[in-house]
Every structure is written in C-alpha cells, then in structure tokens.
Amino acid sequence: MPLCPLGDGGLGLAGDDACNRRSCLAWLATAWAIFQGLLVEALPFLLIGVAIASLARWLAPGGRWMQKLPRHPVLGPLTGAALGFALPACECGNVPVARRLLAGGAPLGTALGFLFAAPVLNPIVLASTWVAFPNQAWLLAARPGGALLLSLLLASVLPLLPETALLDPALLEERRLNQPLAEVGLLERRTGLVGPATPKALPDKTPRPPMQEVLQHGSREFLDLAVLLVLGCAIAATVQTLLPRSWLLAVGGAPTLSVLSLMLLAVVVSVCSSVDAFLALGFAAQITPGALFAFLVLGPVVDLKLLGLLRVLLRPKAIALTSAAAAVAVLVLGQWINLLLL
C-alpha cells in the first residue's frame, strides 16, 4: 500500500485515517488561502465600481449623457474603451459601472466596449504590465491592442442577439424605462399603458435623488454583487486547488497546447487584471509568447470569479456566447503571435 506524507514529517499508509485527515486539512487550507486571496484582492475594486456607479446616479440621475454616447458599431465600443482610462479598477469594479451605463440607456456597443476593454486599458493595468515586462515591447503593445480587438469583436457579436435574449430581465426593465419613447413603445416599458407612444418630451433636468436613497441603492447593489463574487471566488479556489498550476505549465513549450493551457489557467486562477502581470512574470520564461498574451488578455474578460458577476448584466446564453467568442479569438491571436515571434 502506498505511503502518505504526514505533517510531522513521517509517513503513513494511504488508507490510514490520520493520513486522510491530514490530506483533507491540507487541501482545505490551500483552498481557503486561495479563496481569501481572491476575495481580498477583488472586493476593494468592486467597492470602487459601486461607488462610481452610485455617484453617477446622483450627479446625472436622468442619464441623458449616456444616451448621447456614440451608437456607431466601431466608434461606440472605442468610446466605451476610452472610458476605461478614467476608472482605476479591475474587471470586478467595471461590472457595476457597465450596469449603470446599460440601465441609463447607453448604446449597447459603448457599454460592452467599456465592460470588456476597460479592465486592461485602465492606467493601473497598463503601468503594472510595463513594470513587470519592461523589456518586452511587443507585449506592452499587444496586450492593450488585443483587449481592444476583443472588445470590438464582442461588442459586434453580442448585439446580434435581441435585448430580451441578451440582458438580464431586471436590467432590461430598468433600461427600457430610461430609453426615449421614440425607441421603446409604451407596452415595452411594462407600465400597463396601451396605445401608441406619445411624443411628450421628458423634463430637461431630472431632480437628483436624496443622498440617503443613493446610499441605500448602492449598498444593496454592493451586497448583491458581493454574494456573486464570494460564490465565484469559492468556485475558482476549489478548481484551482484540484487542478495544480504545474500541470498546465508542463506543456508551456508547445505552440498550440501552451496557448490552450494558459487560457485555461487564466480562467481558473481568476486573478484581477491589476496584478495578473506580476503573476505571469513568474512563469513567463516557461511558456510561448502567444501563451503569455492569451493569459493576460483572456483572464480580464472570462474567469470563474467574473462569470458570476456577469449574471447581473447578461443572460446565461449571452455569457456562454461571450466565453466562446473570446476563447476562439484569443486562441487565434495567440497562435498568430507564436508564428511571428517563435
């Protein structure tokens, strides 16, 4: 019977109760440590995102400026991506801001461009990538460029679905209440009114809600998102403990397998985009350039921690489409980079 290492340095039979208990406790300790690290890392950025969304709701309650954002299929996502420069948060903090944009009636392409590009294009992430890889000029250009291309792709593919199949029902209802009557009929607003839309103009200036109401709304939103974040971190910690990182890095030298394995690693590790470059620095020498690119670009768009948060924005079908489209695009781009640099 095989031997099992015990915590005191001795060996025990694999079937021994003491051995099994120690192995179980070691597994739980590892999973708990990973869970704590992910949660502590993400919660401050989630709080920043909710605070920004609440401030926008108080300063511009009518959301008129959101409805004036570009609707062009290319200019819209580029404008949304540019908004990411003003938000020093990772992907977790961008979710409540993107929800506020969508609820306020912002064009789909602009809001989606912000959601998918801002986690990489914000100043903190760009600076951390430069600090971690100062001598790899190709990566300093390829990471933001790849994130921008990916956001343009997703902002073009997702709107092919009707909004009823794309957006979360609660978000969709709030969005329609804020859209002009010229775009959404009265029946679609779920107000119970029957008849053609009237061209009655809305007030030029919506009064600001009381600060207490804004704080209560922000607190509820933070708690709802925090529950999803805790669930996502727990799943990520469990999978990361069961799937050792060394297994994925073992194929780091193979052009195609390395890209696929690092894509999977990015999804499993679920580290925030503000620090993922420093994590990648630890194994960058073991993997291909395309795999490094895939790890740094896919993670901020699709990871286990983020998938739960996306439920407040998108329906499951839309989340699945996002994951599939992002994975295929990153795989192709990673392979292309390997062809150029290897």
Q: Is the pLDDT of residue 315 over 90?
A: yes
- What is the C-alpha to C-alpha distance for residues 213 and 207, in angstroms, rounded to an integer? 13
For residue 206, being part of any structural domain is answered with: no
For residue 205, being part of any structural domain is answered with: no
For residue 280, being part of any structural domain is answered with: yes
CA torsion 122→124→128→134, rounded to 10°? 70
- What is the C-alpha to C-alpha distance for residues 47 and 221, in angstroms, rounded to an integer? 10
Residue 124 or 150, more confident: 150
Contact 229, 270 (CB under 8 A): no
In DSSP terms, which residues pair with 5 in a beta bridge?
Answer: 11
For residue 325, being part of any structural domain is answered with: yes
For residue 76, being part of any structural domain is answered with: yes
List the structure tokens of 44.
């401050």
**pTM of the predicted model as reported, rounded to 2 decimal places:** 0.74
List the structure tokens of 297.
């670009």
In DSSP terms, which residues pair with 12 in a beta bridge?
Answer: 4
- At 76-86, the pLDDT tens digits run 899 988 887 77
Residue 11's SS3 state is strand
Count of domains observed in the chain: 1
Residue 309 or 142, more confident: 142
- At 231-240, the pLDDT tens digits run 767 876 777 6
Q: Which range of residues forms the domain containing residue 284?
A: 36-196+211-341
For residue 140, being part of any structural domain is answered with: yes
- What is the C-alpha to C-alpha distance for residues 338 and 255, in angstroms, rounded to an integer? 7
List the structure tokens of 263.
């894509």
For residue 294, being part of any structural domain is answered with: yes
For residue 90, being part of any structural domain is answered with: yes
